[in-house]
């Protein structure tokens, strides 16, 4: 699942989605949530074919959904709407345009299905839990949290991923160790040869040679930064 309110403003959306579709394989379907008012089918024949065969699906966000700042994204993701639309899935891979999975990896996404929530572990100086920019989630748990708890009443968390982590711990969710989470994805804490990365140019700039040697696809992310 990827959420981009304005496809025309995201030039690397199509190659990134096609890359994820290729590495994930035909058993996976990708869902793009976007605003209908901004939607126009891309010219890319590869993208059109993926839509026609059902591997990529386009769904529309509620009109006037605002996602231009990180707090907008957190507010939207902590409401039930998005999770109710994907609740029937066993697990959902959430990705953003500043994340990538590596075709070199010996791991698969399915290898992490036992966990209710997993993403790159967050360095303690920035908080706790797992980064949501590239994360695998149990939508049934997330819709329950969104319905039962109120992010807007929480004074402890600014970001949706850390809030969901805290709520998941309270509910006894199955969560990975930091080592397993590092094998899944790298953001603020470095690890050799993970399955994927989130914002490596921002957080791992001193390790970019090692990152690029392992995961050439990281080059698709150049210039992407968090809002």
pLDDT for the residue numbered 157: 83
Residues 6+ apart with CB under 8 A from 24: 30, 93, 101, 109
Q: How crowded is residue 96: how many other Cβ atoms within 10 Å of its Cβ?
A: 21
- Ranked by mean pLDDT, the top range of 4-18, 126-140, 145-159 is 126-140
Q: Where are the domains of the chain?
A: 66-221
Helices 160-170 and 70-77 cross at an angle (nearest 10°) of 30
Question: What pLDDT is recorded for position 156?
Answer: 80
Angle between helices 139-148 and 160-170 (to 10 degrees): 90
Tokens of 124: 């303690």
Which residues fall within 8 angstroms of residue 192, CB to CB, at 6 or more apart?
210, 214
Q: Say which residues have a Cβ less than 8 Å from residue 73's Cβ, sequence separation at least 6.
A: 3, 67, 160, 227
User: Could you tell me the pTM of the whole model?
Assistant: 0.95
- % of the chain at pLDDT higher than 70: 97
pLDDT for 224 = 45
Mean pLDDT (the chain) is 94
Average pLDDT rounded to a whole number, residues 95-122: 97
What average pLDDT does range 62-78 have in this prediction? 93
Query: Band of the pLDDT at 43, cuts 50, 70, 90?
Result: very high
Rounded Cα distance, 58 and 48, in Å? 11
């Amino acid at each position: 699942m990827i959420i981009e309110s304005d496809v025309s403003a995201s030039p690397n959306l199509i190659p990134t989605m096609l890359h994820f579709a290729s590495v994930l394989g035909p058993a996976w379907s990708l869902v793009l949530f976007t605003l209908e008012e901004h939607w126009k089918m891309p010219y890319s024949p590869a993208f059109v074919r993926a839509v026609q065969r059902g591997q990529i699906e386009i769904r529309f966000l509620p009109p006037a959904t605002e996602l231009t700042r990180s707090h907008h994204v957190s507010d939207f993701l902590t409401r039930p709407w998005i999770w109710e639309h994907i609740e029937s899935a066993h697990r959902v891979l959430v990705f953003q345009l500043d994340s990538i999975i590596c075709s070199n990896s010996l791991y698969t996404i399915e290898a992490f299905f036992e966990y209710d929530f997993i993403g790159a572990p967050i360095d303690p100086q920035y908080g706790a839990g797992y980064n949501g920019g590239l994360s695998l989630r149990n939508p049934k748990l997330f819709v329950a949290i969104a319905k039962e708890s109120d992010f807007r009443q929480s004074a402890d968390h600014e970001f949706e991923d850390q809030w969901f982590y805290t709520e998941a711990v309270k509910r006894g969710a199955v969560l990975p160790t930091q080592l397993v989470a590092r094998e899944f994805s790298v953001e603020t804490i470095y690890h050799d040869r993970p399955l994927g990365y989130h914002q490596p140019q921002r957080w791992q700039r001193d390790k970019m040679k090692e990152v690029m040697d392992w995961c050439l696809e990281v080059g698709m992310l150049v210039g992407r930064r968090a809002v």
